[in-house]
Structure 1
Amino acid sequence: MDTPSAPGAPATRFDTKIAVLLRDDLAPWQRLNVTAFLVSGLGTAVPELIGEPYADADGSGYLPMFRQPVLVLEGGRELLASAHGKAVSRGLPLAVFTAELFGTGNDRDNRAAVRAVPTSALDLVGLALQGPRNAVDKVLKGARLHP
């Protein structure tokens, strides 16, 4: 069920899940930076994830956001590699952030840094994915909620 809850109603259980998996050895600023970059990709790849624009009581408008929560999890290097392989094999919408991207300063160089490395050698520090709840849960098995 992917419908919004009325105020005071029981929490909505979505049929799909949005999740970010971060490597557990990142500095706090890196975790925030990687999360922001990763989720930006999902909104463009899966436009139905985006809700309606917001407005306050005075009529000031605000940008739309995801219609459902984003889970942020963490795990080790091996878990990221495993999750990446599972997500790719299942064809789930996926965004990646590699360690090399901390040293680039623009989108062109970011894409070139990822393109320069074979899939099996990507130094993943984070990934974001979206899909059916059970598929995302299987991909992220072993990850723990970010503290």
Structure 2
Amino acid sequence: MTMDTKLVVILREDLPPAIAANAGVVLGLALGGRLENSVAADTKDADGGVHAGLNPHPVPTLVASGERLREIKAGADEQDLTVVGFNEVARRSRDYGAYMDALAATPASDLEYAGVALHGPRTVVNKLTRQLPLMR
């Protein structure tokens, strides 16, 4: 069954593994909190153990250069998409108040993204991301 919507996470290609993992988790949590029905029903294994429901969307994790991430974020902001950007101001802040203060003092043109998550119509998401490789 093909879904009408698509969800992708795009990470900056030069991130060290630990930072890439953190960025993916931060983006997934932030995006999931914005989507209705983002978690399927809990289910049981053959022994009766309960397993928490997961997101029913496949979630490809793609990579892009920092400049390409900025372009994708800008293009996605102009579309009918849910967009979450995890920028370096956020990544380096130690609490949310410090992030809000630092972001308020940072021009959009100076933001560097560790990653971006997108959700929306499959055709729109595909158009923005079709040339990007999967993370390896």
| Pair in the same fold by TM > 0.5 | yes
In 2, Cα distance between equivalents of 1:104 and 1:54: 37
Indicate yes or no: 2:71 matched with 1:79: no
Indicate yes or no: 2:121 matched with 1:129: no
Once the two structures are TM-superposed, the CA of residue 51 in structure 1 deviates from its matched residue by 1.2
Indicate yes or no: 2:59 matched with 1:70: yes
Asked if 2 retains the 8 angstrom alpha-carbon contact of 1:79 and 1:142, the reply is no
Aligned length: 136
TM normalised by structure 1 equals 0.81
Aligned to 1:108: 97
Asked if 1 retains the 8 angstrom alpha-carbon contact of 2:63 and 2:132, the reply is yes
Percentage of pairs with the same residue = 29
Asked if 1 retains the 8 angstrom alpha-carbon contact of 2:12 and 2:66, the reply is yes
Asked if 1 retains the 8 angstrom alpha-carbon contact of 2:80 and 2:120, the reply is no
Instruction: Map 1:23-62 to 2 at 5 A.
Output: 23-62=12-51
Residue in structure 2 matching 1:142, options 128, 131, 134: 131
Aligned to 2:11: 22
Asked if 2 retains the 8 angstrom alpha-carbon contact of 1:73 and 1:144, the reply is yes
Counterparts in 2 of 1:113 and 1:39: CA distance versus 1, 3 Å: farther
Aligned to 2:77: 88
What RMSD, in angstroms, separates the aligned Cα atoms of the two structures?
1.9
Asked if 2 retains the 8 angstrom alpha-carbon contact of 1:73 and 1:143, the reply is yes
In 2, Cα distance between equivalents of 1:111 and 1:59: 45
Tell me the secondary structure at the aligned position of residue 95 of structure 1.
Answer: strand
Task: Judge which range, 32-41 or 57-66, deviates more.
Answer: 57-66
Q: Which has the higher contact order (CA 8 A, sep 6+)?
A: 2
Counterparts in 2 of 1:52 and 1:115: CA distance versus 1, 3 Å: farther
Could you tell me which runs of 5 or more consecutive residues in structure 1 were left unpaired when the two chains were aligned. Answer: 1-11
Per-residue CA deviations over 1:91-145 (Å, capped at 9, x if unaligned) read 4111111122332223333444434323332111101010111100112243211
Aligned to 1:97: 86
